Amino acid sequence: MNRVNYLQNIKSDIPASIVVFFVAIPLCLGIALASGAPLFSGIIAGIIGGILVGLISGSQIGVSGPAAGLAAIVLSAIGTLGSFENFLVAVVLGGAIQLAFGILRAGVIGQYFPSSVIKGMLTGIGLIIILKQIPHFFGYDNSTEGDLGFIQTDGETTFSALSNTFSQISLGSTTIALVSLIILILWDSVLTKKAKIFQLIQGPLVAVVFGIIYTFTTAGNEIWGIAPKFLVSVPESADISSLLGNFTFPNFSSITDINVWVVGFTIALVASLETLLCVEATDKLDPEKRVTPKNRELIAQGIGNMFSGLIGGLPVTQVIVRSSANIQSGGKTKIAAILHGILLVISIVSIPQLLNKIPLSVLAAILLIVGYKLAKPTLFKSMYKLGWKQFIPFLITVVGIIFTDLLLGIFLGLIVGVAIILKESYRNSHSLNIEENSDGRHNIVLQFAEEVTFINKAPISRELESLPLNTNLKLDVTRTKFLDNDIIEILNDFLETTSGKNINFKVLTKKGEFENPKNMSHIFTDRKKSA
């Protein structure tokens, strides 16, 4: 896009950036907490993901930051490497490896994920957001914000946290959450249609402001007040020197440790995969259906991770929660992502005390709306109508994400999707047409598909073995672009066993016709080379 377009969309991008900013704050802090890292490292990653990655990335609606999918890896890695400073070296190395992935054009991997799995990923994330935010909505403080795994870092599961929530409801948190939810619904479904002012001023901003006012007015009230543990907790700094003291720098003396390189490669691999999956998903959500250059995205993420590691930040990826919040709030260009990063900088420098008055339950209400829009019941209905070949991988992905984690859920959906493809390939390798002449001979045409591989050995072998006596068999491979050597061997075996069946065998190829060949290999030599 050119400069004019950025300026034209600024009225949409500014409100969207504010919403993403409010969504990002608890996620940055929560993911840092779940990772066993300093809280400030999550904020750094959010800033880098917003500003630096946003500037370099080719995505107009994707938003990057610390990812929940990497929290378990980070937690384990810090323990393995002995210190957070050593871990930061691995983050820098991981970024450099990602940069290499982008230069080597590895972004094409993202195109091999079926649409059903991508839609399952979006729906699964939507449902897990809803399930994970319900405890925060009611003021249950044991659940860590940003922890999207089924087994949480606090030892609970998604559903045990839900069960415990309703025995420990905070009246203040619940009240302001319900009011915020009403504001958001009315704003989205009624008020935005009444006047343009309601389109410019986003409902989430109004809900947050209302939440801050509620926190101040009910302070000290044991029944209706909100305890500090139910509020946002941004690190506060008295002056610039104490703010700078929050930055941590890598210990490059550990670069000779093989474990550092292993962790770095793991970060690069997982972060790249999560980014590519998110890119595919956000492109599907984009109202303008723009296509993100994937290799450029890997380069942007790699540079972002290198800088994040250098100044004490967590690894960054493109993140579906922030990206979908951006899209749903009307974000049109990358300006929204960049501005959200700038807002993070301004907030931690100038107004951390004010941010720390935002109830987590208000932010939970905002995320519930985001989750619902990702996992609308109508999507399940539409996927079901597409047939079981689409619905099963979709459903497996959704269930897998809920009961495991994001990457494992996607992997399970992908396995099922590939299995269905293989099954269809197994069944659709050929077609058979049988006619009977008056002289008692059978005219049979066996036509191969475009791709015939070793997977198709069994059905083709059965067809050949079941041929009746006195048959005129025509094998049509004019449409076949690839023929596996395993299939050629089956055909050769067939030629050796036809003498007693009185079978006249003709092979029809693009090169011409071959009648009763002694061996099939020479017929397909050129074809195999070209394939």
Tens of pLDDT, residue by residue over 452-495, are 877 777 788 888 888 888 888 888 888 888 888 888 888 888 88
Tens of pLDDT, residue by residue over 365-391, are 988 988 898 888 898 999 999 888 889
Mean of pLDDT values over 45-68: 94
> For residue 91, what is the DSSP state?
H
pLDDT interval class at 404 (50, 70, 90): confident
pLDDT interval class at 144 (50, 70, 90): low
Q: How far apart are CA 341 and CA 339, in angstroms?
A: 5
Q: Indicate if the pLDDT at residue 46 is higher than 50.
A: yes
Residue 34, CA distances (Å) to 259, 293, 456 in order:
22, 31, 48
Per the CB < 8 A criterion, the answer to whether 125 and 112 are in contact is no
Per the CB < 8 A criterion, the answer to whether 116 and 284 are in contact is no
What are 438's two structure tokens?
């008056």
Q: What phi and psi values does residue 378 have, to the nearest 5 degrees?
A: -65, -25
Burial grade of 276 (CB within 10 A; 0-12, 13-18, 19 or more)? buried
Mean of pLDDT values over 50-66: 95
Tens of pLDDT, residue by residue over 258-295, are 999 999 999 999 899 889 988 988 998 899 888 899 99
Give the residue ranges of DSSP H helices in 230-292. Answer: 240-244, 258-285
Mean of pLDDT values over 60-73: 87
HSE of 299 in the Cβ direction (CA atoms, 13 Å)? 14
Per the CB < 8 A criterion, the answer to whether 97 and 270 are in contact is no
Residue 461, CA distances (Å) to 179, 351, 428, 430 in order:
68, 74, 14, 11
Tens of pLDDT, residue by residue over 212-249, are 999 999 988 888 999 888 888 888 877 777 788 889 99
Reduced to 3 states (helix: H, G, I; strand: E, B; else coil), residue 514 is strand
Q: How far apart are CA 121 and CA 396, in angstroms?
A: 10
pLDDT of residue 41: 94
Q: Which long-range contacts (CB under 8 A, 24 or more apart) does 496-503 make?
A: 501/467, 501/468, 501/469, 501/470, 501/471, 502/469, 502/470, 502/471, 503/467, 503/469, 503/470, 503/471, 503/472, 503/473
411-422: b or e for each residue (b if 16 or more CB lie within 10 Å)? bbbbebbeebee
pLDDT of residue 438: 60
Tens of pLDDT, residue by residue over 339-362, are 999 999 998 888 888 888 989 899
Q: Identify the bridge partners of residue 471 per DSSP, sorted by sequence position.
A: 442, 503
Q: Indicate if the pLDDT at residue 529 is higher than 60.
A: no
Q: Give the rounded percent of residues in the chain with a pLDDT score beyond 70.
A: 93
Q: How far apart are CA 225 and CA 416, in angstroms?
A: 49
Q: Which of 509, 448, 524, 445 is nearest to 478 (CA)?
A: 509
Q: Which domains does the chain have, with CATH numbers?
A: 3-413 (no CATH), 428-530 (3.30.750.24)
What are 404's two structure tokens?
């495991």
Tens of pLDDT, residue by residue over 164-208, are 888 788 899 999 999 999 999 998 888 877 877 777 777 888 999
pLDDT interval class at 323 (50, 70, 90): very high
pLDDT of residue 108: 84
Q: Indicate if the pLDDT at residue 148 is higher than 80.
A: no
